[in-house]
Structure 1
Amino acid sequence: MTPEHPPHAALVLAGSRPGAPDPVAASEGTSHKALVEIAGKPMLAHVVDALKGSRVERIAVVANDPAVVALAQQLGCEVIPAEAGPSASVAAGLARLGAPMLVTTSDHALLRSEWVDDFIADTPEDADVAVLLARREAIELAMPGSKRTYLRFADGHWSGCNLFLLNTPRAETAIDTWKLVEADRKRPWRIAARLGAGILIGYALGRLTLASALARLGSKIGVTARLVAARDGLAAVDVDKPSDLADARAILSERPERH
């Protein structure tokens, strides 16, 4: 690759959250949902295989469950110990791998290599941080009846795809803000104060587009943040609950295996 297009790394978040057991892992009798088998192989293996088929050249897995650590090593990935929260784990990953670094999760079982490559290709060159989201219409076209959580903006309803691109070293600033938001998650008024009155009023009046919201939020924290629209609505479907697992198994059982 040329210096203008440096090699991309990928970080897969597979840490364990403290507190109640994960419902997917509990339903399958495993210690972590990354180990749950879909179409003959663990969920984490589906994610890693998709990344290996993309332009990503280096893959690391954040994990603290011994079985997940062993699986990640078996799959040929680097392992980074999980920190206290996702933002701290991403910060540790960026310190190890450097930018540009793609971030995804171990429950993104339907991930495809072309989604990763399209996301990287569609990210504007000026972006320090990019977020992949899918329009509701695209999700319902790809998976009729799917129930997702949507962000409602002037330019439509959007759902996250668990794919982020930390495109430049300046993305570290966004991680620092993420840490503050995590710390304030039980104090929503503080999060609202960080967003600023202009963003909140525009959202409440239905006049704010998602792209504009990301750009303005990025400007407040000192980075250029960009929205990238997913080309395939299935990119927004991850495995958060047993019903999602059933859907993923049905979809992957029909997807031809690529070698």
Structure 2
Amino acid sequence: MQTPPQTTFDAIILAGYDPDRPHPLTQGRGEPHKVLLPVAGRPMIGYVLQALADSGCVTSGVIVGMEPTAGLEFDLPVDYLPNRGSIFANAAAGFQHLAGRQDPRRHALLVSADVPLLTGEMVRWFVNACQPLDKDAYWGIVEKQVLERTFPHSRRTYLRLVEGQFCNGDLFLGRIEAALRQQALIRELVERRKNVLSQLRLLGPRVLLKFLLRRLSMADLIGVADRVLGLQGQPVILPFAEAGMDVDKPHHLAQVEAYLRSRGQQAAGGAAHG
């Protein structure tokens, strides 16, 4: 009997922080969680929770890195998991939690809580683009010219490929069981995510050489995921600049707030409050 296609998903929302390395945006504010800081009058994570609820394809959430006492409002059933201190540990905890309550062959959505320009339309578009879900993992990427057309001063880190230059799109869809494989190597890749050369060096000299010669392609990265991680994966090029604008530095926060103000998106109503 053929399994019906999956059209609804649990979402893991990464909302933790490293207690040993305070984020520059939180210093002096008395709030260690960056994602609780206000953006145009509303907590950053509130926009993300609203986007997931509005998508129509997310049925429940797992917020990793916060307690229920944080005062978040989410229009979907939600579980809270305590902060593990790193992005990798929090993501792994989220997938492990889902594996304990449902079929681990299902796919789940992973999203960072610091992407306040995310919308339900973007989440829905990404999930639809991943169909028919015949891969272990899908990750969103945004082309440099798309992002800089809307945010010309974002100063993002881009990976140069034969097909163009791309940054992370902050949306990931992965099979639960697959996300729990090869955790040591995945941890290294996550920890080196801000240093492209360091990541590529970890994947082997052939990959690094192709990158330096500007011959690295998407097909190469897909092959590496299969060979090194044992995962069948596929990047998804997102047409939304907003999906690449996670708030990581003060100038990102300023640009995001200006964008929201220009569209009149203030804190009237909300999916979360601190």
The DSSP-based 3-state class of the residue aligned with 2:180 is helix
Contact 2:96 2:180 in 1 (8 A): no
Please list, as runs of the form range in 1=range in 2, the aligned pairs for 1:194-213 lying within 5 A after superposition: 194-209=202-217, 211-213=218-220
1:61 equivalent in structure 2: 63
Contact 2:98 2:176 in 1 (8 A): no
- Counterpart of 2:118 (choices 98, 111, 120) is 111
The DSSP-based 3-state class of the residue aligned with 1:70 is helix
Higher helix share: 1
1:89 equivalent in structure 2: 90
Deviation at 1:144, TM superposition (A): 2.5
Cα 1:126–1:29 shift into 2, 3 Å: same
Cα 1:100–1:144 shift into 2, 3 Å: same
Query: Taking every aligned residue pair, what percent have the same amino acid on both sides?
Result: 29
**Does 110-119 or 79-88 show the bigger shift?**
79-88
RMSD: 2.7
Unmatched runs of 5 consecutive residues or more in structure 2: 100-105, 270-274
Cα distance in 2, alignment partners of residues 241 and 183 from structure 1: 18
Contact 1:72 1:78 in 2 (8 A): no
**Does 71-80 or 116-125 show the bigger shift?**
71-80
**Does 11-20 or 231-240 show the bigger shift?**
11-20
Cα distance in 2, alignment partners of residues 239 and 191 from structure 1: 22
Instruction: Give aligned pairs, total.
Output: 252
The DSSP-based 3-state class of the residue aligned with 1:173 is coil
Cα distance in 1, alignment partners of residues 192 and 52 from structure 2: 33
Unmatched runs of 5 consecutive residues or more in structure 1: none
Cα 1:37–1:253 shift into 2, 3 Å: same
Cα 1:165–1:36 shift into 2, 3 Å: same
Cα distance in 2, alignment partners of residues 41 and 4 from structure 1: 36
Deviation at 1:27, TM superposition (A): 5.8
* Residue-by-residue CA offset, 1:26-64 (whole Å, 9 max, x unaligned): 264433211111233211111101111111111111114
Cα 1:215–1:194 shift into 2, 3 Å: same
1:75 equivalent in structure 2: 74
Deviation at 1:223, TM superposition (A): 0.8
Q: TM-score normalized by structure 2?
A: 0.81
Contact 1:128 1:224 in 2 (8 A): yes
Contact 2:92 2:179 in 1 (8 A): no
Q: TM-score normalized by structure 1?
A: 0.85
Cα distance in 2, alignment partners of residues 183 and 112 from structure 1: 27
Contact 2:140 2:169 in 1 (8 A): yes
2:137 equivalent in structure 1: 129
The DSSP-based 3-state class of the residue aligned with 2:170 is strand
**Does 162-171 or 174-183 show the bigger shift?**
174-183
Deviation at 1:71, TM superposition (A): 3.0
- Counterpart of 2:247 (choices 233, 239, 245) is 239
